[in-house]
Amino acid sequence: MAQSTRSPQVVTRLVDGSICAYDLTADAGGVLSPVLICRPSVGDDVVGHAVTADLQRAYYTTLNAVVCVTADGTEVWRSEFRPRSDQLFGHRPSCVLSLDGHVVWVYRPDAMAGRNRPDQWVALEARTGAVIAQADLDTVGHGGQHLLHQAGDQVFLDVGEGQDGSVIYRASVAEGRMDLIRYPWSDRCLMDLAPDGRQFMTVAHDQADVALHTYPDGEVTFALSVDAFGHDPDEICVEWSGGYLDQDTVVVTLAGETEDEQEWFRHYRVEVTSGQVQGEFDAHAGDPYDIQPLGDGSWLTAGPSGHPIRWTDTPRPRPRRLGP
């Protein structure tokens, strides 16, 4: 059955301590102006954040809680992580709001937080903060990235374990139970999901290659190592960055150093159906990670003010350059 293509409607950034939301349906380009600026509760240092599509509520994680506030900053509910951690570094809880706005998914790196228990993935009722479902994870993670499957209720979680690798999970909730699946790798980092939900993109933890996988089984469609881009794999690496520019194109990031030890990076377009490298891509990015493809032909970078800049570009074939 054909699945609908869907790009995000609202994205959030943390700017000067406030959760800022930006409406992407306005089809604006250039520096985006926030349609919502929400202050967290007094004393809270925000780590992860999300906002409802109607801009009426914001959700955020701190090192020790997940919190819901209204648009004017009034606290609605707070779910504490017990026991309270005295570790200030090495653990960053994250959250995401489901597409229907009913569930807040929270990753808790409890092992690194020193709570003497496994990492937790928790689904909370967005209106009240009540626990819908909860699962122990077999990871000792520092942080986790959530990605929403754009055509259904599936949520992906990539847990970063530092030098020990990265683990990718997929889950949904039904009748108070979490249906949890772990993909059979500990050496691949999840980058992005295809706009139609039929693929996802990963980068090897050792940064040797990029791969596209079929959804949901994770079978590799193709993988490209560094030499496919005309570079020496002993000198250059694939960065943990990039994603689906649109349904037919992914952006891949490579980085290295010149002979004078000057760091450099480049973004490349790759055709999804063939795996062909189409050429370099000027993302106007300040660093290798300063790019968020939106799946509709546009992407975001960070502006000097902290607010994102939205870019669009028409692909133009360019000869591949060999070396820095």
pLDDT at 7: 56
Residue 304: left if φ>0, alpha if ψ -120 to 50, beta else—which one? alpha
Tens digits of residue pLDDT in 42-70? 999 999 999 999 999 999 999 999 999 99
Tens digits of residue pLDDT in 185-207? 999 999 999 999 999 999 999 99
Tens digits of residue pLDDT in 120-174? 999 999 999 999 999 999 999 999 999 999 877 999 999 999 999 999 999 999 8
Q: Percentage of the chain surpassing pLDDT 90?
A: 89
- Cα separation, 262 vs 260, in Å, equals 6
pLDDT at 260: 87
Sign of CA dihedral 105, 111, 115, 118: positive
Q: Residue with structure tokens 């994205």?
A: 11
DSSP state of 64: S
Tens digits of residue pLDDT in 249-302? 999 999 999 888 899 999 999 999 999 999 999 999 999 999 999 999 999 999
Domain residue extents for the chain:
10-186, 224-324
- Cα separation, 101 vs 189, in Å, equals 26
pLDDT at 314: 59
Please list the residues that pair with 204 across neighbouring strands: 188
pLDDT at 134: 97
Mean pLDDT of the chain, nearest integer: 93
State the average pLDDT over residues 207-213. 98
pLDDT at 175: 86
Tens digits of residue pLDDT in 5-22? 445 789 999 999 999 999
pLDDT at 319: 41
Residue 203: left if φ>0, alpha if ψ -120 to 50, beta else—which one? beta
Q: Are 151 and 3 in contact (CB under 8 A)?
A: yes
- 201-207: list long-range contacts, CB under 8 Å, 24+ apart: 201/242, 201/243, 201/244, 201/250, 202/168, 203/238, 203/239, 203/240, 203/241, 203/242, 204/238, 205/165, 205/166, 207/237, 207/238, 207/239, 207/240
pLDDT at 151: 73
Residue 170: left if φ>0, alpha if ψ -120 to 50, beta else—which one? beta
User: In the CATH scheme, what is the code of domain 10-186?
Assistant: 2.130.10.10
pLDDT at 316: 45
